[in-house]
Structure 1
C-alpha cells in the first residue's frame, strides 16, 4: 500500500520538529540543511522551499519556543499571593526544562541569527513582572519600592541560572529545587528553613488535586 503523501502544512510541521531536534543536539552552527532533509526523507530544496534556509527554520523553532515559554511564565506570575506567584514561576520554568528539554537547550545556548528576540529578552519581560510583584511586597513592608527592579533582576537571574544548571543535573527533583530557590529568595540567608517545601496550593496545582 502506497504511503499517503504529506500536505504542505504537515511537511512544514515535520521539518520544524526534526529541525528542533537537530538544533538541540548540534547547535545552530553544527546543524545543516542536508542533515535535516535527510532525517525528514526529503531533498534539500524542500527545506529551502518552506523556510528559505537553515536560518529561517531556526528562527521559526526559536519563535515557537519563546512564545510557549513566555505564556508559561506570564501565566504562572498572574495569579495568587506574592510568594505563590514566585513558587509557580520557578516550578513552571523547571517543568518546561523537564518536558521541553530540546527547546530550552536551544534557547539558552544559541543566539538567533538576524533577530533581536532572544532568551535574554524573555528574561527581561519576566524581570518586569517580578519587579511589579516585589514592589508591592516592599511597599507593604515599608521598604523602598524603587529597589524592586534590582531585586527582580537578582531573583530572575538566580532562577534562570539554576534552571540551566538543572538542565544537565536533573537532581534533586524539580520540586526540591524550586522549594530551595524560594527558600533563599523569600526568606534570605538569615531566615532559611532547613527543609523547605512548596506551598500546598502550588503542589495541588502541579498534581491536579483539588
Structure 2
C-alpha cells in the first residue's frame, strides 16, 4: 500500500472517529493527511468508498483481535471469558477504530441510509454479529448457555454493550461479569 494512501486512511480514521461520516469533509481529510483532495479521489471514488474501507478495516481489526484470542481454546467457559476480555481490550486499546464503529453504527444500521455502499456496510457489520452468534450457539450446543437464549439477540447485546463506556476498568469488569452470568447456565 502506498504511503499516501495509508496517510489518507489514517487521517480518515481519526476524522470519522471524532466527528462521524456526516461531520467530515473530503477537504478536511486531505488537510489532515497533508495531501491534495484530488489524491483522495485517485485512491477512492467517493467519501462513501473511503468510509467503507475505514469501516471494513475497523471491523476486521476487531474480529482479528477478539477471535484470535480464543483460537485453540477448547474449554468453552474460558473461551467466552477470553472473548469478552479481548473485546474490552480492543475498545480500550484501539480507541480510534472503536469510536469509528460506535459512532457510525447507528447510521450504518439505519435502513433510511440506502444505496449499495450502506447496504454493504450493514452486511459487513452483520457478518461480525453472526460470528459472535456462532460463539454463543457453540455454548448452547454444549449445554453451557441457557437454552432459552437466542444467539443472535445475545450477540447484538454484546456488540451494543461493548462500547466506549467500557474504557472505565471497573465498569468493564462489571459488564463482562454481567454478560457472562447472563449467558452461562448454572450447573
Alignment of 1:89-168 (within 5 A): 89-110=83-104, 111=108, 113-115=118-120, 116-138=122-144, 147=147, 150-164=149-163, 166-167=165-166
TM-fit CA distance, 1:163: 1.1
Residue equivalent to 1:46: 39
Alignment of 1:1-210 (within 5 A): 9-78=2-71, 79-110=73-104, 111=108, 113-115=118-120, 116-138=122-144, 147=147, 150-164=149-163, 166-167=165-166, 170-172=168-170, 174-186=172-184
TM-fit CA distance, 1:153: 2.9
Structure 2 residue runs of 5 or longer lacking an equivalent are: 109-116
Distance 2:153 2:138 in 1: 14
CA contact (8 A) 1:73 1:93 kept: yes
CA contact (8 A) 2:144 2:185 kept: no
- Identify which range, 75-84 or 23-32, moves more after superposition: 75-84
For the aligned residues, what is the CA RMSD? 2.7
Larger radius of gyration: 1
TM-fit CA distance, 1:176: 4.6
Structure 1 residue runs of 5 or longer lacking an equivalent are: 1-7, 192-210
CA contact (8 A) 1:82 1:137 kept: no
CA contact (8 A) 2:15 2:29 kept: yes
TM-fit CA distance, 1:22: 0.2
TM-fit CA distance, 1:83: 0.8
Distance 1:60 1:27 in 2: 14
Distance 1:72 1:59 in 2: 20
Greater relative contact order (Cα 8 A, min sep 6): structure 1 or 2? 2
Distance 2:159 2:48 in 1: 26
TM-fit CA distance, 1:59: 1.2
Residue equivalent to 1:4: none
Q: How many residues align?
A: 174
TM-fit CA distance, 1:138: 5.0
| SS of residue matched to 1:74 | helix
Cα 1:113/1:184, change in 2 over 3 Å: closer
Distance 1:184 1:129 in 2: 15
